[in-house]
Amino acid sequence: MADIYEHQAPEKLQGKYQAMVVYCILGIGSLVSWNSMLSIADYYYQVFPDYHPSRVLTLVYQPFALGTIVILAYHESKISTRKRNLIGYILYTISTFSLIVLDSATKGRGGIGPYIGLCAVVASFGLADATVQGGMIGDLSLMCPELVQSFMGGLAVAGALTSALRLITKAAFEKTNNGLRKGAMMFLAISTFIDLLCVMLYTYVLPKLPIVKYYRRKAASEGSKTVSADLAAAGIQNQSGLTDDDSKNQRLSKKELLIQNIDYAVNLFLIYVCTLSIFPGFLYENTGHHGLGAWYALVLVAMYNFWDLVGRYTPLVKWLKIENRKLITSAVLSRYLLIPAFYFTAKYGDQGWMIMLVSALGLTNGHLTVCIMTIAPKGYKGPEQNALGNLLVIFLLGGIFAGVALDWLWLIGKKNAF
């Protein structure tokens, strides 16, 4: 039955660029809320100066994201991808809007009560993140690498977009009364709109694109049950006939998939341990004071996000894409040289060297992530690709969680750290 789909090249290519744009927007929507939180951290440092917002909020976010993705990945073959992703984007929309409501209700005042409320909303971001990222990457693993790359690029666009907007709003509102708060609320309003747009795109546009229908029908022919609701939304019914052949339904177990791809999984984990042990906590609290003043941390975050975006598109250049598994491992391990480099630059260097290091951190983070995510699913059947995508997201979020925890070590020996 799968052979039928191998000879449908015209349908396979139709709507490819539209799909790339839609997946890029969906990538933006899956991280824009969280990146907005990071970008307006200077506002939360003003409201909650004693609570280490950038570190604490990230530490609250990650356990919920990691715990949720582990549960969802375990049951991935039984969960409708459509319902999962829509629940995630709707939760993002409601949670982001809740931040505006919370700030309006408290009138921008600090204190332990509003901070607990803020942490509760951030925890819901973690639930939404695991729901969307695992579902989207699992679904995209069924498709061509260009669509995977578009979604991963969208994740970085979210960071670059929020950083650019933060610099603009800071310049626009810096000298106005309550300027930081006005800029922060504008951010959250834009994020809410983008997440609502993602709900609409995923519900009404994505399922009907020919290239998406092609890959989902192909996955169904290989035994995937997670795509049934998406196919039904596209007007394709009675897919059960495609999976009557038991030989088509046989698939590798999650354990077998993990063993075959353990190097990719561990490398993803190590990439994000390194990145999140530096970004964003170190950049906000450990880089000292320089000529840029209050703009310094914002510029560093913006540079990281910009080069992370660039890095997610460099694998499109064939000779830059790393496909050798040993080379990927070597590149991942070599990034750990950045940690002592950041330490000594913060202590002895100037802002130019710090900007260069942040750029290198972002560039390598984006490039290596996309290389792994686009190479790993090759050669597997639809259900296996979906399972592998979810497994890789577990290690990615696990690396983020470990990196966030290790980020607190930078506070050792720092006066008035706690």
Report the b/e string of 244-268 with b at 16+ CB within 10 A.
eeeebeebbebeebbeebeebbebb
Q: List per-residue pLDDT tens for the chain, 418 residues long.
A: 444 444 455 556 688 999 999 999 999 999 998 888 877 877 888 888 877 787 788 888 888 999 999 999 999 888 999 999 999 999 999 999 999 999 999 887 878 889 999 999 999 999 999 999 999 999 999 898 899 999 999 999 998 898 888 888 878 877 776 777 888 888 899 999 999 999 999 999 999 999 999 999 988 888 888 888 888 888 887 444 444 555 556 789 999 999 999 999 999 999 999 998 887 766 665 555 555 566 777 788 888 989 999 999 999 999 999 999 999 999 999 999 998 998 888 888 777 888 899 999 999 999 999 999 999 999 898 899 999 999 999 999 999 989 888 877 776 655 555 4
Q: Where are the alpha helices (DSSP H) in 174-261?
A: 179-200, 210-221, 228-233, 246-249, 254-260
- For residue 407, give the nearest of 415, 396, 399 by alpha carbon: 399
12-237+253-410 is classed in which CATH architecture? Up-down Bundle (1.20)
| Residue 240: Cβ-neighbour burial (10 angstroms; 0-12, 13-18, 19+) | exposed
> pTM for this structure?
0.88
Handedness of CA 384, 387, 392, 395 (dihedral sign): negative
- Max CA separation in the chain (angstroms): 69
Which residue matches tokens 């906590």?
281
CB 322 within 8 A of CB 264: no
